[in-house]
Structure 1
C-alpha cells in the first residue's frame, strides 16, 4: 500500500510537470510567432523563412487542439478567422473621432498657423508632418496590453464593431510587446496595398468576375464581411497615427508615435518633426512627387501641433481639432462630355443641379455624375449640355465640374436655362436675396422634402433607428403608410410584412428600432426634427438652455438670441417652425408616443445655473479633473468655455504646466487666475 501511495504521488508530480511543460511550450511558441509577425509585417525585416514560420504555427496549432484548456483568443493561430458576424454591433466612441479641416495651399496653412498662435501666444510651436493615408479609419482599444475591440469611424460619435475581422490583420498586435498605460485607444487607417489589390483583381478577372474599383473602397468593404475567414484571405494592412490616452506619459505627438512603434504598432516612417512652417512646406514638396512611389494610396499631408499640452490648449471646434490640418494634394482632373443637367431636391427644399456625364475614370473611381452647385455657378462657367467639361474631386471625395473646354463646344450649343419650377411637385421655385440656392417652398407637400425629413429623422446622428434605411422610408411613403416622422410610431408589423423585400423578421426589426428610439435624449430629438439651421451643436445649446420642447416653442425672438451663439437667422427659423400648425400637431403626437421632448431628470443632476454669464479659459494639467470633464462641468453649471483669453474672460483655471503666454496675457488684462480647488469652491 505504501509503494502504491508513493507511485501515485510520483505519477501526479510527473503529470503536473508534463502539463506545465506543455503550457510553457505553448506560451513560448506564441511569443516567438508574435515576434516573427512583428518583424515581418511591421518592421519588414523577416528573421525566419515562411516555411519555418508555418512549421512552428502548425506545431502550436496541434498543441492547442490537444490542450484546449490553454485556449487564448489572442493566439497567432486565431488570425486565420472563421468567426461569423451577421450583425455588427454599434459602439459609441469613448473619445469622438473628429474629421480634419482641409487646406489646399501654403496660404491656408499660414492662416491656420496664425489662428493657433493667437490662442497659444508667444510659445514656440513645432509640428509633426505625416502622410494622409487613404483607407478606412479604425479605432483600436487596448486594455492591460490586450486588444479589446476595434470600431469603425462611423459618424465620429459611434461606429460598427469589427473586432473579429480586424484580428485577421497580421500587422495589428493582439498583445503588446511591452507595457503602456492600462487603457488607451490608437487610431489609424486600414489599407489595401496596390500589389495586393492588383492580385485580387487578377484573380477576379480569371474567374470572370467584375474587378474591384479602388483599394480604399475594397478595404472598407472588407471590414464588413460577415466571415472573418474571408477577411483573412485579403492582404489588408493597418497604418497607425494617433494615440488617445487619459494619462499619456509622453510630452509630444512625435514621442508618442515612436512609443507606439516599440509597442508593436505599424507606424509609417514617413513622419518628420518640423520646427517652422518652411520645413512643413519642404516636407509637402518632397512628398508631392515621392507619394507616387509608395505601395499604397495617399491623398495629402497631415500637419499636427507636436506638443500634447498645446493640443489640449487648442482643443476642438464642433467638427475638427484646432491643432491639426490636412493639406490636400492637387486633385486629379479629367475631361468628359456633359450629357444632361438634372435637378435634385433636398430635405430643406434646396435645389441642386447635377451634371450627368459620359462615364470617366477619376482618382480610382468611375464618375457618372457631378455637382454643378447652383444657378450662379452654371452661369459663371457658362456650362451647357453637350460641352466637354473638366471634372475633379473636391477634396478627392465629391466630383464637381470646374470648367468647360470651349474649343470643343458644339456649334448648335444653347445657354442653360435654370428651371423655374420644382422637378418633384412643380411648385414655382423661390430665391431670397443673398442666397445662392433656389428653394421649393412646398415644404409639406413636396414628396422628396417629406421623405428627406423622415430620412433625416431616422439617421444615426438623430434618432438612430435601426432596421430602416432611405429606401425603406421611400417604400413606406409610396405605400401610403407614412407621410411624416410621427407616422413611424403608428406602424404595425402586419402593415410592413406584405411590402416588397420585407418579411416577418424585417418588420420586427423595424418596429423594435422605432420603439428603442423613444430612449434617445432630447438634444438628439431636437436635431432630428430638422429645423432649418439647427444642426447638432445648435440643438445641444438650445436643449440645454430651454430644457424642453414646450419652453423652446414658446420662446420669443429676444429670448432665443440671448442663448450663446444663437443669431437672428436661427432664432427666426425656430419661431417659423414653432408657429406652424403642422409642426405643433406632430410634436404633440411625438409626446403621446413617449419620445423624449425634455431634458431627463438624470441629466439635470449635478447641473445648475450658478456660472451663468461667466466665461472660463482652462489651461494646464489638472489633478481632480480631466480637461474635458472640467470643461463639461463648467458648461453643466451654466458657464462658457473659451479657447483664448480676452477682456471678456471671467476666470482662468490654471493647472500644472500652464502656458506662459496665457499666464502673461491673463496678468496683463487683470483676469483672476484660480486653481481647480478654487473652481470647486465657486460651485459651492
Structure 2
C-alpha cells in the first residue's frame, strides 16, 4: 500500500494550558492507528487485503492530519512512523546481549546422523533424562540476519547481526518494513523484553521488479536478493529503504524476559507465538518426530526449492525442546542443538573465455575463470574460482571449453568441470605462470602445498589486498575507507603499508578523483577514530596473519595483554589454546618473527594504535572498556565463567564486567568451567554444574569477585 511523507515529531511538551484534543479526536486517533495496522497486517503479512490503496491512503491522511494538529496523539507505534523521510548521519554500533551465532552445516543424511550422535554425546542423560528427539524444521533463508527488540510489546531497537557480538543499529530503517509489527499483536500481557531474531529478505518477484526499475533508471542492478536486502537495510536515506519491498521473517529469540507473559516451552510453540504476535515466519515449517522425519523434510524442501517465494539455500533443524536447547549450549562457533542442511549448488553451462591470475593479500596466486555471463540460482555469474593449479589439471579445464558453473554454498561461483562433448579442437591446456603477474618476481610452491606464492613484500597486489583487508569489516572495519580509495592511495605510492594510512592529511586527498573537502576530512577523521578506538581482537584480525580469522583473533585477545605479549608467546603456549594447532601456531610465530612485520608494529605503537585487551588486565596506562576500568589482577583472571538465570544486571552487562575482570566466557557447563554464576530460575545448568563439582556463585558472590578484581559498579547497579 502507498503512504504519505513522514512529518517531524516535535520534541517540546505542550503546556496543559494550551488547547487539547477532544475525547472524540483521541478516540478517533486510537481507532485509526489500530485500523491502519490491521490493514497493514492483512496486506503485507497475510496477503489478504480488505480495502483498496485509495481507502487506506484516506485513513492514513486522516491520522496524519490529527497527529499534525495534536502531536501528543502520536503513539510510539503509530503507523505514520513507518514512512521514511530522514537522512541518518551514520549507523551506530551496539553489542548484542546474547551473541548471534551462525549454524554448522551438514551436506548429507550421513552428516546429519553424525550431528545427532554428537548431540547425544554432549547430552548429560544422568542429569537431564533422555534426550528429546523432536525437531522443528524450516527452510534456511538466504537473507540478512536481524534482531528486533521489543519492550512491553513495543518496538524499541533493531540491530544487524554484524560479527555476531556487535551489530549496526538500523531501527529507523526497520520501522519501514511493513511485515515488522511496531507493536506486538494481541491483547497481551507481553514480555517485558523480547529480542526477536530472523532474516530480512526480498521475494524473488520483488527482486526482479526492483532490478527492472534500476535498469530503467540507468542505475546499478543488484547481484542477488540477499545483496539487495542488505544494501537496502543499511541505507542512510530512510526514504530509499521505505521504497523497497523488504520483508522480515522471524525464527528465533535472543534474550527473553517473558514475565508477565507465559514463556514458551518448545520451538514449535514459539513459532506459533511469533505468528500470533504478527510476524511472518519461514514458510512450510514442520515439527518432525525424529531424525528420519528430518531427513524426509530436508529432501522435500530441496525438491521444492524453486517453489519458495524467496531464495533459500537449505533447511534448518532445531531441537524442539527449548530447555534442551539451553542445556546443549554452544560451541565456539555454533549451537549444538541446531544445524543447517546445505543443498547441492545450483549449476549452469557457459563458455570459458579466459583464465586470469589474481594475487591475494598473503601472496597466493589464484586462477579465476572468465566466463560468458550466465544466471546461476538467481545470480548473474561472469567470473568463478578455479582454486589452484592442481584443480585446473584434475578437472582438465581449458580456455574455449563449455564448462559447468555452480555457486558453491550458493555464494562463491566455481567451475565444476568441462563438458567434454563440446570441447573445440583448438582448446589447449593452461600453463600456470611461474612469475607474479603483479610484480614480475619469481613465485614458488612449497612441498605439500597446492598454492603458488609471491613472497615479495613490496608486490603491489599483495600490498593492495593486505591494506584493503586491514580496513575491511574483517579488519578494523573503518567506515568510508573503501577498496577504491585504498587502490588510488596505493597506486599513487602515498600508502605503502597500513601504518601509512594514519599519517594522511585531508589536504593531500584533495587531488584524488571525486574527493572534496568534506569527504577528505571525513576520511581522515574515520582513520583517526579507528586509531583511538580499535580493539585488540580487531587489530589482530586486521594484521592478516595466515590462518587467523576473527574468531581466533578474539581467542588470542582473550589470553594476551597486547601485541607485545602475543609476539613473545612460543608455539607450545599457543597450542595450549583451544582450536590453535601446530599450523596456526607456526603461522603466528612466523608473522612476529618477520623483521618487516615488526617494523610495522613499531610504527603502530608510535602512531598510538596499540590497544590492550579488555579480557585481561590493562597496563597502568590502559583505559576503560564498556565504562568499566579493567582489572590489574584478580581472582577472575583467566577463569572460565558462565551465567545462567536472571540477574539484576542485564546479561550482556554482567558478561562484559566478567571480561573486564579477565574472565573468559564459556558456552556450556563442562569440567573446564571454573564458575557458574546463578540468578533466578537457573534451569538445568545448575544441576549439571553441581554434579561436576563446578564452583557456583550467586550474584552477590560474583560482585564480590569483581570488587576483588578492582571493579566497582555504579550505585544504581
Measured against the shorter chain, the TM-score band is 0.7 to 0.9
Aligned to 2:684: 658
Answer yes or no: is the 8 Å Cα contact 2:351–2:401 preserved in 1. yes
Say if 1:614 and 1:506 are closer, same or farther in 2 by CA, change over 3 A. closer
Aligned to 2:586: 572
Task: Provide the secondary structure at the position in 1 that maps to 2:64.
Answer: helix
Bigger Cα displacement from structure 2, 385-394 vs 534-543? 534-543
Report matched runs for 1:333-412 at 5 Å: 333-412=347-426
Report matched runs for 1:378-457 at 5 Å: 378-442=392-456, 444-457=457-470
Say if 1:375 and 1:632 are closer, same or farther in 2 by CA, change over 3 A. farther
Answer yes or no: is the 8 Å Cα contact 2:541–2:553 preserved in 1. yes
2:175 is equivalent to residue 167 of structure 1: yes
Bigger Cα displacement from structure 2, 562-571 vs 633-642? 633-642
Gaps of 5+ in 1: 1-12
Bigger Cα displacement from structure 2, 83-92 vs 117-126? 83-92
Report matched runs for 1:62-101 at 5 Å: 62-72=65-75, 74-85=77-88, 87-101=90-104
User: Could you tell me how far apart the structure 2 residues matched to 1:214 and 1:569 are?
Assistant: 36
Deviations 1:556-582 (Å, cap 9, x if unpaired)?
Answer: 444444445443333333332223222
Match of residue 19, structure 1, among 19, 22, 31: 22
Task: Provide the secondary structure at the position in 1 that maps to 2:481.
Answer: coil
Aligned to 1:322: 336
Displacement of 1:484: 0.7
Aligned to 1:120: 123
Say if 1:217 and 1:575 are closer, same or farther in 2 by CA, change over 3 A. closer
Displacement of 1:591: 1.2
Answer yes or no: is the 8 Å Cα contact 1:451–1:477 preserved in 2. yes
Aligned-pair Cα RMSD in Å: 3.5
User: Could you tell me how far apart the structure 2 residues matched to 1:64 and 1:234 are?
Assistant: 26
Say if 1:310 and 1:609 are closer, same or farther in 2 by CA, change over 3 A. farther
Task: Provide the secondary structure at the position in 1 that maps to 2:199.
Answer: strand
Answer yes or no: is the 8 Å Cα contact 2:677–2:698 preserved in 1. no
Displacement of 1:47: 4.7
2:230 is equivalent to residue 220 of structure 1: yes
> Number of residue pairs matched?
664
Displacement of 1:635: 10
Aligned to 1:589: 603
Say if 1:673 and 1:189 are closer, same or farther in 2 by CA, change over 3 A. closer
User: Could you tell me how far apart the structure 2 residues matched to 1:94 and 1:196 are?
Assistant: 33
Say if 1:318 and 1:642 are closer, same or farther in 2 by CA, change over 3 A. closer
2:467 is equivalent to residue 459 of structure 1: no
Deviations 1:12-35 (Å, cap 9, x if unpaired)?
Answer: x99988623212221122122222
2:556 is equivalent to residue 542 of structure 1: yes
Bigger Cα displacement from structure 2, 36-45 vs 207-216? 207-216
Bigger Cα displacement from structure 2, 212-221 vs 401-410? 212-221
Match of residue 250, structure 2, among 240, 253, 264: 240
2:297 is equivalent to residue 283 of structure 1: yes
Aligned to 2:534: 520
Please state which structure has a larger fraction of its residues in helix: 1
Deviations 1:381-405 (Å, cap 9, x if unpaired)?
Answer: 1111111111110111111111221
TM-score (norm 2): 0.83
Gaps of 5+ in 2: 1-15, 126-130, 709-717
Aligned to 1:675: 696
Displacement of 1:354: 0.7
Deviations 1:188-233 (Å, cap 9, x if unpaired)?
Answer: 2233334444555666677788876644443334334554444444
User: Could you tell me how far apart the structure 2 residues matched to 1:218 and 1:657 are?
Assistant: 42
2:156 is equivalent to residue 148 of structure 1: yes
User: Could you tell me how far apart the structure 2 residues matched to 1:541 and 1:480 are?
Assistant: 35
User: Could you tell me how far apart the structure 1 residues matched to 2:464 and 2:134 are?
Assistant: 49
Aligned to 1:605: 630
Say if 1:579 and 1:426 are closer, same or farther in 2 by CA, change over 3 A. same
Aligned to 1:139: 147
User: Could you tell me how far apart the structure 2 residues matched to 1:74 and 1:679 are?
Assistant: 39
User: Could you tell me how far apart the structure 2 residues matched to 1:30 and 1:314 are?
Assistant: 43
Answer yes or no: is the 8 Å Cα contact 2:36–2:56 preserved in 1. yes
Displacement of 1:51: 5.1
Displacement of 1:132: 1.8
Aligned to 1:31: 34
Task: Provide the secondary structure at the position in 2 that maps to 1:22.
Answer: helix
Deviations 1:147-180 (Å, cap 9, x if unpaired)?
Answer: 2233333444444443333322222111222342
Say if 1:643 and 1:418 are closer, same or farther in 2 by CA, change over 3 A. farther
Bigger Cα displacement from structure 2, 368-377 vs 455-464? 455-464
Task: Provide the secondary structure at the position in 2 that maps to 1:368.
Answer: strand
Displacement of 1:285: 2.7
Aligned to 1:473: 486
- Pick the structure with greater CA Rg: 1
Say if 1:329 and 1:588 are closer, same or farther in 2 by CA, change over 3 A. closer
Task: Provide the secondary structure at the position in 2 that maps to 1:534.
Answer: coil
User: Could you tell me how far apart the structure 2 residues matched to 1:652 and 1:205 are?
Assistant: 57
Task: Provide the secondary structure at the position in 2 that maps to 1:547.
Answer: coil
Task: Provide the secondary structure at the position in 2 that maps to 1:369.
Answer: strand
Deviations 1:347-371 (Å, cap 9, x if unpaired)?
Answer: 1112211111111111112111111
Aligned to 2:268: 254
Say if 1:246 and 1:412 are closer, same or farther in 2 by CA, change over 3 A. same
User: Could you tell me how far apart the structure 1 residues matched to 2:370 and 2:564 are?
Assistant: 46
Task: Provide the secondary structure at the position in 2 that maps to 1:358.
Answer: strand
Answer yes or no: is the 8 Å Cα contact 1:624–1:676 preserved in 2. no
Say if 1:464 and 1:429 are closer, same or farther in 2 by CA, change over 3 A. same
User: Could you tell me how far apart the structure 2 residues matched to 1:464 and 1:182 are?
Assistant: 34
Displacement of 1:265: 1.6
